């Protein structure tokens, strides 16, 4: 029994930390062996206007603050009032922790707030899960809208760039795929309503119901209008940061002038979807996703790689800086908070 538990712990740690690291390193290796490194550095050195990247930092920090304020509404509805500054620290820290230990940042922020406010960990964790589920639904909605707007450009690119891409285009156009999606959704609805005696199925059904109730509870809590407005603020800032980055290079600025906001929207959506791939802060998957997006609109690999690496590299440096600030601020806050409790 003990050896089985040890195996599960090793397997869990491998899936959480080793696999994301391998994915990040592997994709970065493929990226930098498939690109002329000197050409990319020359493009960055000679053409990048970092003022637009710096302007994007303001939107990035604003999005984190909006997320903290949005989470505050959820916690208040659960009778867990937390100071705004502590919630802001928790969001800054989440992204910093995720750079080192993917997905552990969410657990860390839950533990930090639950410990600071003397609140049940499971309750705070449930609100965090609802927070992330809301982001997933938002990404799905934005993705659907983007595909409707940019489907012609995306499908043309897939058809014209080799058999493997053409196969993807045929799959996306296949009625069998969309029929399978409808059947899957119907099966999920049936599963949620069915009555099971099997313990494993019952446990899975209960977990799914709790997730759904946690998400749906958002729309029953007080100040849901403000919550929706902050959600729009979060994702508006994320998109705004991507949009501003297009002005950092002359070749991406030309893409905006030629294709309008569509090119920024497709790049933003594919980059957002790539964050679902387990990796350290999106390193690896994010670059590949946005290089693919920029390639749809004809941008050469070296230029797309330069843009991707500047944007992600600068965002990573910002995350590290905010993380250092956060953990210093938390130490000072702990001393102040402990003095107030005496």
**Is residue 270 packed enough to be buried (19+ CB in 10 Å), middle (13-18) or exposed (0-12)?**
buried
Does 50 have pLDDT greater than 60?
Answer: yes
Which stretch of DSSP H or E encloses residue 283? Answer: none
pLDDT range class, residue 200, cuts 50, 70, 90: confident
- Comparing CA positions, the residue from 92, 77, 86 lying closest to residue 112 is 86
pLDDT range class, residue 234, cuts 50, 70, 90: very high
Give the residue carrying structure tokens 């080799």. 162
- Comparing CA positions, the residue from 234, 297, 271, 262 lying closest to residue 146 is 262
Does 232 have pLDDT greater than 90?
Answer: yes
**Ramachandran region of residue 277, left (φ > 0), alpha (ψ -120 to 50) or beta?**
beta
Does any domain span residue 241? Answer: yes
Average pLDDT over residues 66-73: 95
Does any domain span residue 258? Answer: yes
Domain that holds residue 261: 22-113+223-341
CA 237/CA 62 separation, integer angstroms: 7
User: With a threshold of 0.75, does the pTM exceed it?
Assistant: yes
Does any domain span residue 237? Answer: yes
CA 37/CA 170 separation, integer angstroms: 35
Backbone phi and psi for residue 198, each to the nearest 5 degrees, phi listed first: -65, 125
Question: Between 7 and 319, whose confidence is greater?
Answer: 319
- Comparing CA positions, the residue from 46, 95, 136 lying closest to residue 283 is 95
Does 7 have pLDDT greater than 60?
Answer: no
Does any domain span residue 168? Answer: no
CA dist list (Å): 238 to 62, 139, 297: 9, 11, 21
Does 236 have pLDDT greater than 90?
Answer: yes
Average pLDDT over residues 279-299: 86
| pLDDT at 6 (0 to 100) | 57
Does any domain span residue 163? Answer: no
Does any domain span residue 50? Answer: yes
Question: Between 3 and 272, whose confidence is greater?
Answer: 272
Cβ neighbours of residue 263 closer than 8 Å, sequence gap 6 or more = 246, 255, 256, 293, 294, 297
Does 148 have pLDDT greater than 60?
Answer: yes
| pLDDT at 23 (0 to 100) | 60
pLDDT range class, residue 156, cuts 50, 70, 90: confident
| pLDDT at 29 (0 to 100) | 55
Does any domain span residue 108? Answer: yes
For residues 205 and 192, the answer to whether their CB atoms sit within 8 Å is yes
Average pLDDT over residues 118-135: 87
The number of folded domains in the chain is 1
Q: What is the pLDDT of residues 12-37, one digit of tens each?
A: 555 555 656 566 566 555 555 656 66
Average pLDDT over residues 90-98: 92
Does any domain span residue 207? Answer: no
């Amino acid at each position: 029994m003990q050896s089985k538990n040890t195996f599960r712990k090793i397997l869990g740690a491998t899936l959480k930390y080793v696999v994301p690291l391998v994915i990040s390193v592997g994709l970065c290796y493929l990226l930098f062996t498939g690109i002329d490194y000197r050409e990319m550095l020359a493009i960055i050195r000679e053409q990048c206007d970092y003022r637009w990247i710096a302007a994007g930092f303001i939107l990035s920090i604003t999005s984190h603050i909006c997320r903290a304020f949005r989470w505050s509404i959820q916690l208040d509805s659960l009778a867990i009032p937390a100071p705004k500054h502590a919630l802001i620290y928790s969001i800054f820290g989440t992204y910093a922790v995720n750079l080192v230990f993917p997905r552990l940042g969410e657990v860390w922020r839950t533990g930090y707030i639950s410990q600071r406010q003397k609140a049940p960990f499971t309750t705070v964790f449930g609100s965090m899960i609802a927070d992330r589920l809301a982001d997933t639904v938002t990404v799905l909605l934005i993705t659907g809208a983007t595909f409707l707007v940019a489907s012609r450009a995306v499908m043309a690119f897939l058809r014209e760039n080799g058999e493997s891409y053409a196969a993807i285009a045929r799959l996306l156009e296949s009625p069998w795929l969309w029929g399978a999606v409808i059947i899957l959704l119907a099966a999920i609805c049936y599963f949620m309503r069915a009555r099971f005696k099997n313990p494993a199925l019952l446990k899975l059904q209960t977990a799914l119901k709790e997730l759904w109730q946690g998400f749906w509870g958002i729309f029953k809590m007080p100040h849901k209008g403000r919550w929706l407005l902050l959600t729009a603020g979060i994702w508006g800032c994320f998109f705004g940061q991507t949009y501003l980055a297009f002005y950092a290079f002359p070749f991406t600025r030309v893409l905006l002038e030629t294709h309008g906001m569509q090119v920024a929207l497709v790049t933003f959506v594919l980059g957002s979807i790539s964050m679902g791939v387990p990796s350290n802060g999106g390193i690896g998957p994010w670059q590949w996703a946005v290089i693919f997006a920029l390639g749809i609109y004809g941008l050469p690999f070296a230029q797309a790689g330069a843009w991707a690496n500047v944007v992600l590299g600068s965002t990573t440096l910002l995350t590290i800086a905010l993380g250092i600030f956060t953990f210093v601020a938390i130490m000072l806050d702990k001393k102040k908070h402990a003095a107030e409790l005496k």
